[in-house]
Structure 1
């Protein structure tokens, strides 16, 4: 018996700005109650978790159902090693490549609409059970007629409109905050993030970015970027070569050796920084589900919808700042910051020490060897530095494109903390510098 179309729609991401906003408002109330309960325990001398496992399960259930921008937010939350327990992070980490899947009938419908035929005709084999389900689409394992194994990402119907609505809801919040405080005007940064996220729904664009990223990393033998299968790719279906291995989040719980941890951490640093400095491109969605430790030891890179291309000016100034830091040279902090695109309402004598401290915190692994990422406090110390100096930092504005740069480098720092490697990372950054 054929499924009722209304039943299928019930299993797709919730539609409508108001409906999704209401769902998120209910979740927010539950999470807030959990946080308040934690605060009460802290007042009586206990050390509670910021978020309970039960609240984390509710978060995963709701955001997994909503998908879109809401699920992407959950992926970011799951990477925070400072404020969530390992148990809670493990629950939320399911959002990195697991979510309720769409019915097979819908998958078939999308493939027909986009590629013109059924899965059975398009592929020698097509596994109806998803290999992974994420924020914008789900991935199926398949085999081409020539025997090559591939991963087929099928976009959720209506997700482009859903994502747009999510970002419009968030935009209202940003505008409200901006009107309340001129210093806290984040509209330009939000617009940058909004435009980048909406572009991710175009899989033809993602296919082109994947091929570009492959060229940008071609000189790095330890990295692997999958080949695009153009004849099985369209605006809502993306077919890539299937990489064999374990995602970073699965690999890290397998108790790898200290040598393995250092090797993979080194590969991650190259995956983020090398293409940025050499080709102006950066993977700006670096959660652990987007990297894979392959069976041959290389690091596979996945999900190319958020590859960011930066302006030559931004890349050049950051490159020079990086080289000064690696070589332990003094630098014109404000001059280079302005070249990057920063503006400041503070006198240079006030702004300079603030930015110098940011560079000092971020540059710890470049100055000392060995460096231990297991005890790394870069993320925590950076948050404390910004919190203590918030009124003054609000008068220093980075360029809009820096949003994606910070998203990428911040995610890298969280991944390196997750891997907990120790070793000569100063030497690794010197290797990166040798490419420039």
Structure 2
């Protein structure tokens, strides 16, 4: 049975308590930013975040779990924000958060599956394989000898997520009231609704099975099998994949050929299921992909698979084919078919959107592209910053938020891998699936 002290190790509960912890963290990070500005003024190389502040960030967000930890995972994917050493510290949030005690794991499994882990499985490791934002994963062996990964949800995490999102929602509403042009409520609702759905592991099991159908024509990819008899709303049991997560593999000094091979697999994993089934992995941090011992790329964590509307997929499919074939297209008309609205004169709006296509489409147009020196993310930010007032008058559909999250994360992962080669051929391979 779990004790009171075990319950104390759960993700911090209560909207006010969580808000207070984040406020304290914000104060320390703000101090670091001020120091960085002072270094810049005297001509020294600025460091946006010190090692001590990075450790504090990981400690606080790892304790809070939930939406706060997901934010930290996203921060770790920004290569230009932090030094490699600081980024390595923050990357621990991707699957190395502080674990909950085994007594709590046992309690959840008993409540969900009706018996102790030792009875339900031939073997069940008490030490977690990974601890993430909504639950932690344990290695186990079924009675028939199959190795599995059992994801156990943190008790109370659903209520914690609701509190986090309510806190964020108040901030979004305040900003939206201050400026009608910057109304972000529809996008926030999209993120909120999708995030709260991640607490239903039965839904995640269904999405995992559907995602496997989406990669059925891609033998270089591996999606784990769902063990339905050991899966409930708060416990998810999947086939155990053997290998190294992308963030661990990339520091093992892989050869240029290996880098290109894995980069190709990653592009297929993001775009293949989207264009064929309308499903996209919308949480593409490096801890969610695994370079398997047999050379395939394993895909992990299916709670954030986004299912897009047929209209959104169809228009994006046509834009993608035009881009890969180097054909001219009316980007504004196609963007409107996707669901964009544009309150600028057509010529002005089309020029802004065309520049986005030109920046994002570089790997599709060149016979050789080097992701180690890729500036797509930086140039995109610069384009938005320079034209911010005008971009406020171009609004993507709400479902586009997770599309951009996924494709932006893909670019950051490809830069992390640092592969160079004929990526135009890889995108042509995606096009051949359509």
For normalisation by structure 2, the TM-score amounts to 0.99
SS at match of 1:400: coil
Match of 1:340 among 318, 338, 341: 338
Match of 2:139 among 138, 141, 144: 141
In structure 2, C-alpha distance between the alignment counterparts of 1:161 and 1:182, rounded to whole Å: 31
Structure 1: which 4+ aligned runs deviate by more than 3 Å?
none
Match of 1:430 among 409, 428, 431: 428
For residue 220 of structure 1, report the CA deviation from its aligned partner. Answer: 0.4
Residues 256-265 or 80-89, more deviating: 80-89
Correspondence list, 1:359-398, <5 A: 359-398=357-396
SS at match of 2:257: helix
Match of 1:401 among 399, 402, 405: 399
Q: Which residue of 1 aligns with 2:268?
A: 270
In structure 1, C-alpha distance between the alignment counterparts of 2:4 and 2:30, rounded to whole Å: 33
SS at match of 2:127: coil
In structure 1, C-alpha distance between the alignment counterparts of 2:141 and 2:378, rounded to whole Å: 45
SS at match of 2:291: strand
In structure 2, C-alpha distance between the alignment counterparts of 1:322 and 1:216, rounded to whole Å: 18
SS at match of 2:372: helix
Match of 1:10 among 1, 4, 8: 8
In structure 1, C-alpha distance between the alignment counterparts of 2:288 and 2:146, rounded to whole Å: 22
SS at match of 2:126: coil
Q: Which residue of 2 aligns with 1:105?
A: 103
- Size of the aligned set, in residue pairs, is 434
For residue 390 of structure 1, report the CA deviation from its aligned partner. Answer: 0.3
In structure 2, C-alpha distance between the alignment counterparts of 1:49 and 1:409, rounded to whole Å: 28
For residue 84 of structure 1, report the CA deviation from its aligned partner. Answer: 1.1
For residue 349 of structure 1, report the CA deviation from its aligned partner. Answer: 1.3
In structure 2, C-alpha distance between the alignment counterparts of 1:380 and 1:207, rounded to whole Å: 36
Q: Which residue of 1 aligns with 2:280?
A: 282
**What per-residue deviation string (whole Å, max 9, x for no partner) do you get for residues 324-377 of structure 1?**
111111101111010000001111111111000000000000001210000000
For residue 6 of structure 1, report the CA deviation from its aligned partner. Answer: 2.1
Correspondence list, 1:13-24, <5 A: 13-24=11-22
Alignment of 1:120 with 2:118, yes or no, is yes
In structure 2, C-alpha distance between the alignment counterparts of 1:434 and 1:204, rounded to whole Å: 33
Correspondence list, 1:36-51, <5 A: 36-51=34-49
In structure 1, C-alpha distance between the alignment counterparts of 2:323 and 2:45, rounded to whole Å: 38
In structure 2, C-alpha distance between the alignment counterparts of 1:20 and 1:374, rounded to whole Å: 38
Match of 2:163 among 165, 174, 184: 165
For residue 54 of structure 1, report the CA deviation from its aligned partner. Answer: 1.1
Match of 2:73 among 72, 75, 83: 75
Q: Which runs of 5+ in 1 are unaligned?
A: none
For normalisation by structure 1, the TM-score amounts to 0.99
Q: Which residue of 2 aligns with 1:240?
A: 238
Q: Which residue of 2 aligns with 1:185?
A: 183
**What per-residue deviation string (whole Å, max 9, x for no partner) do you get for residues 260-283 of structure 1?**
000000000000001101110100
In structure 1, C-alpha distance between the alignment counterparts of 2:205 and 2:282, rounded to whole Å: 16
For residue 146 of structure 1, report the CA deviation from its aligned partner. Answer: 0.3
Give RMSD over aligned pairs. Answer: 0.7
Correspondence list, 1:204-215, <5 A: 204-215=202-213
Correspondence list, 1:78-89, <5 A: 78-89=76-87
Match of 1:313 among 311, 314, 321: 311
